[in-house]
Amino acid sequence: MPRTLREVVFVDGVRTPFGKAGEKGIYAQTRADDLVIKCIRELLDRHPELPKERVDEVAVAATTQIGDQGLTLGRLAALLSGLPNTVPGYSVDRMCAGAMTAVTNVSSAIAFGSADIAIAGGVEHMGRHPMGEGVDPNPRIISEGLVDESALVMGATAENLHDRFPQLTKERSDAYAVNSQAKLAKAYEDGKIQPDLVSVATRHAEKGWGLASVDEPPRPGTDMEMLAGLKTPFRPHGKVTAGNSAGLNDGATACILAAEDVATELGLPVKMRLVSYAFVGVEPEVMGIGPVPAAEKALAQAGLSIDDIGLFDLNEAFAVQVVAFLDHFGIPDDSPKVNKYGGAIATGHPLASSAVRLMIQLARQFEENPDIRYGMNAMCIGIGMGGAVIWENPHHKDYGKDA
């Protein structure tokens, strides 16, 4: 029997406030799995029109899949969120693009017809589980010259990107970082971030009970002078600092994806339609360049050009990585099309969870900009990869005409 692929839509997404990793962070004594469970429960509460038994899959990403981020987290999160035990689940690992991969995996299943509705997301508790905890990289990757040793240290790859492209100066990175902080502060002031946050009750043996209701990492008021003198931990006299990089963070995200006809049947909202996606490999030593070929591949698949993309929500693992993307495509570093609500440098980057935050923010910007038809999420990925996803705005007058 010939098959017809179905259109896949982004129904809704939520996230916890992001915290600082470590004993002083808001989630220091909160379990990682409880963070993503809170997100899934919030989605189900927000959408009583979605019968729980209609959820066909739960995919949850985590970069460090041990402890409270292990044991097939997607399945356990499904059970603990109150979904029927007939709903399966699984875990995903593609480092920073874990949640992006969870979304594209379940979207492919929906398009193929093996699922109607799925929940995808990610969690990272970098305070409990620092990146690389318990791993044992095969020494051959270094000894046989497959990669340079710097490829295993993400900050060092950002320094390599500065080396590769001298026009990507520290000043440009710092200016980009200052702008990211300012845009997030403005977005909070304008109430753009709060609707997508789910508050989390916390408990600490010394601090007692608390409520996480806003992001912990932002540093509003950051300026160029404050960033100029920061240490360069990855290289003496380098260009990558804590000020122009995302921090070490804890947090979780989750979203609902559905076949468009099923969303219509159940009365679920449609916030975006999936157009195309792509993952690529690049030299691990300059992993930050990964979003460039990933975007080019996704654009080619969709028959679009970079000029067709009216909004970008890009992950800011390092400012130089985003500036490299913008430089390649001839987009100004301070373009209003890019990260209108700020990015990971201000918000935080709990690794595998971050991509759904990008999607949530892009969906909200689509609502505010019905004149813009297409948007893109993109991110660099550890060990030399990049990912990009293109979405269509359902509020645009030509939505779905060439679907």
- The better pLDDT of the pair 148, 251 is held by 251
Please check the confidence at residue 145 and state whether its pLDDT lies above 90. no
Please check the confidence at residue 82 and state whether its pLDDT lies above 60. yes
CA 233 to chain CA mean position, Å: 25
Alpha carbon distance 48, 210 (integer Å) = 28
Give the pLDDT of residue 41: 98
Clarify whether 380 is annotated catalytic: yes
Please check the confidence at residue 403 and state whether its pLDDT lies above 60. no
Catalytic site residue from 39, 96, 162, 255: 96
Residue ranges per domain, the chain? 140-191+275-390
Give the pLDDT of residue 207: 83
Q: Is 62 helix (H, G, I), strand (E, B) or coil?
A: coil
What are the tokens at 232? 């360069």
Q: What is the DSSP letter of 197?
A: B
Positive or negative, the CA dihedral 303, 307, 308, 314 is positive
For 275-280, what is the mean pLDDT? 98
For domain 140-191+275-390, which CATH number applies: 3.40.50.150, 3.40.47.10, 1.10.1740.10, 3.40.50.2300?
Answer: 3.40.47.10
Give the pLDDT of residue 226: 97
Q: Classify residue 84 as left (phi > 0), alpha (psi -120 to 50) or beta.
A: beta
Q: Is there a contact between 134 and 62 (Cβ–Cβ < 8 Å)?
A: no
Structure confidence at residue 1 as a pLDDT band (50, 70, 90): confident
Alpha carbon distance 134, 66 (integer Å) = 8
The one-letter amino acid at 74: G
Element (H, E) at 202: strand 200-204
pLDDT 10s digits, 206-230:
888 999 999 999 999 999 999 999 9
Structure confidence at residue 115 as a pLDDT band (50, 70, 90): very high
Clarify whether 96 is annotated catalytic: yes
Catalytic site residue from 39, 162, 255, 380: 380
Structure confidence at residue 382 as a pLDDT band (50, 70, 90): very high
Structure confidence at residue 142 as a pLDDT band (50, 70, 90): confident
Alpha carbon distance 86, 83 (integer Å) = 8
